[in-house]
Amino acid sequence: MAEIPAGVVMEIRRRTGLGMMECKKALQEAGGDVEKAEELLRIKSGARANKAADRVTAEGIIGGFVSGDGKKAALVEVNCETDFVARNADFQAFAQRLAQIVAEKKPVDVTALSTLPMNDGTVESTRQALVQKIGENLSLRRFAYRETSQRLVQYLHGGGRIGVTIELEGDEATGKDIALHVAASVAGTRPMSVSKDQVPQELIEKERAIYQAQAAESGKPPEIIAKMVEGRVAKYLAEITLLGQPFVKNPDETVEQFLKSKNARVVAFDLFVVGEGIEKRKDDFAAEVAAMTKS
């Protein structure tokens, strides 16, 4: 049997939170297929998918902007090398101005954004000047733009570590409460969509198949298993949809119930977390010293 690379084992461990040997055995059983191994582990141990896959952090800030009439809004993620620079006033002002430019000019992508006018030059020339001034590399990673006939409400948390835009039918205070909830979800289960109707059917069927395989091992009658599976699916949809989650300010009611009490409706939302999905560089100084002594 071919040896499973340690890096692949670590990836499965990062996704599931399970032990190294357990992950390695699952990979061997799956012939090295990461996705198949993850499914096997979930069936055997009940591990949740991608437990920590989206919690990797890097440095930077989320810039936000909402137009005066609340009809246009943008979030922009700008990355830097250190947390020290992320707190720099010039760096933060750059990110906020970028969000305003996105809302006003509606570029199609980051490349187009880089060519737009800013200060006495372009966004790119301003970035380069800021790199020279600060002494760190800065990069424009992504942005999200929204325009609506309803209302847009925004919330930035942790000095710009988390940014949320809510599009809703309702008052601004309700929108702020929902934005706060979405930001708080970063510590738990982030909503994938507003409602269960927006969850891809193939994802639901994948979860149903996993729950079916788990329930089958219980030895219970088929009709009981069917009820168990559908109950698990319903719970899963409540966890990953905004409307189904317990409202952060009052866990005894769901977000959907809170919105109904305010006669409001969420249309859509954007959520940015600084550095999500970016592997932060880790310097191995001991290895560097060892390599230097051998040279």
Residue 93: what are its φ and ψ, rounded to 5°? Answer: -65, -35
**Residue 24 CA: distances (Å) to CA of 12, 51, 163:** 8, 17, 37
Calpha distance 212→43 (Å, rounded):
9
Helices (H), the chain: 6-16, 20-29, 34-45, 83-86, 89-105, 110-114, 123-134, 172-184, 201-216, 222-240, 255-261, 285-294
> pLDDT tens across 60-118, in order?
999 999 999 999 999 999 999 888 999 999 999 999 999 999 999 999 999 999 999 99
Chain-wide mean pLDDT for the chain?
A: 87
**Domain range for 29:** 1-53
Instruction: Based on the fold, state whether residues 157 and 19 are members of the same structural domain.
Output: no
Check residue 278 and give its pLDDT. 77
Element (H, E) at 141: strand 139-147
Calpha distance 48→39 (Å, rounded):
10
Instruction: Based on the fold, state whether residues 173 and 84 are members of the same structural domain.
Output: yes
Q: Which CATH number goes with the domain that contains 21?
A: 1.10.8.10
Residue 153 identity (one-letter amino acid): V
pLDDT band at 45 (very low <50, low <70, confident <90, very high): low
Residue 193 identity (one-letter amino acid): S
Q: Which CATH number goes with the domain that contains 91?
A: 3.30.479.20
Check residue 178 and give its pLDDT. 98
Instruction: Based on the fold, state whether residues 80 and 49 are members of the same structural domain.
Output: no
> pLDDT tens across 51-66, in order?
433 333 379 999 999 9
Closest to 77 measured CA to CA, from 55, 95, 102, 97:
95
Residue 4 identity (one-letter amino acid): I
Instruction: Based on the fold, state whether residues 70 and 43 are members of the same structural domain.
Output: no
Contact 189, 255 (CB under 8 A): no
Calpha distance 39→35 (Å, rounded):
6
Instruction: Based on the fold, state whether residues 48 and 68 are members of the same structural domain.
Output: no
Residue 98 domain-assigned (yes or no)? yes
**Residue 245 CA: distances (Å) to CA of 125, 196, 234, 242, 259:** 44, 11, 12, 6, 12
Calpha distance 283→290 (Å, rounded):
13
Check residue 32 and give its pLDDT. 85
Check residue 195 and give its pLDDT. 97
Element (H, E) at 247: strand 246-247
Calpha distance 68→88 (Å, rounded):
26
Residue 4 domain-assigned (yes or no)? yes
Helices (H), 197-270: 201-216, 222-240, 255-261
pLDDT band at 150 (very low <50, low <70, confident <90, very high): very high
Instruction: Based on the fold, state whether residues 47 and 70 are members of the same structural domain.
Output: no
Instruction: Based on the fold, state whether residues 34 and 121 are members of the same structural domain.
Output: no
Examine the pLDDT at 289 and tell me if it is beyond 60. Answer: no
Examine the pLDDT at 50 and tell me if it is beyond 60. Answer: no
> pLDDT tens across 251-286, in order?
999 999 999 999 999 999 999 999 987 766 544 434
Instruction: Based on the fold, state whether residues 266 and 123 are members of the same structural domain.
Output: yes
